[in-house]
Each structure stands twice: as C-alpha cells, then as structure tokens.
Amino acid sequence: MREWHNTYKDQGLVVIGNHYPEFNHEHDLDNLREAIIRLDVPYAVAQDNDGTTWRAYKNRYWPTRYLIDKAGQVRYFHIGEGAYAETDAAIQTLLAETYP
C-alpha cells in the first residue's frame, strides 16, 4: 500500500486504510494514531470501530484491496496477499481513464 501510495499519489491515487479493530485496545483512537505514527503510514486510515465500512463492502477477509474508479464504482478487488503486478496494472488502467 505504501509503495502504491508513493508511486501514484501525484497521479490521483488516493489510498485509504480501513481499520476494523480485532482486539479491544484497537478501538482506542489514540492507539491507532500511535500505530500510524510508529509504522510511518503515509496515507489516510479510517477508524471503523463498528465495522460499518467493513460490512458495507461485504468484506470477510483480511487483507482485501478494493480499487474504486473516478465515478465511485468498485472496479477491482483482491482478497489476500499477492497479485501485486495485477493490482498495479489495474491501478494504472484506472488512473489513465478520464473523469466521467
């Protein structure tokens, strides 16, 4: 995620992490802030304590990556690790599209 953010942010890619806590201490926003600083996460991370966003995408697995186009439609997703070249190609394709 960091590499894609750094590579494509100036071309319009916006990376947003969704933090859906697994453990009680992860619900604390200060703990999330500390982790973002400690891990030097360069992109936005949303705190999803109630799992609202997680459920809205019918997400069941971690990690899952979603690519959303300029019109707000999910155009690509990948469950689990891997498929990095495929995801990168999908990012490039979506960035090359004109805004509707």
Domain 2-96 has CATH 3.40.50.980: no
pTM (two decimals): 0.90
Condensed to tens digits (0 to 9), the pLDDT of residues 22-54 reads 999 999 999 999 999 999 999 999 999 999 999
Q: Which pLDDT does position 99 carry in this prediction?
A: 84
Would you kindly state where each structural domain of the chain is located, as residue ranges?
A: 2-96
78 exposed, middle or buried (CB, 10 Å; 0-12, 13-18, 19+)? middle
**pLDDT, the chain, mean:** 96
pLDDT digits (tens, 9 = 90+) for 64-79: 999 999 999 999 999 9
Q: Which of 64, 26, 74 is nearest to 47 (CA)?
A: 26
* 63 cis-preceded (ω within 30 degrees of 0): yes
Q: Is the pLDDT of residue 100 over 90?
A: no
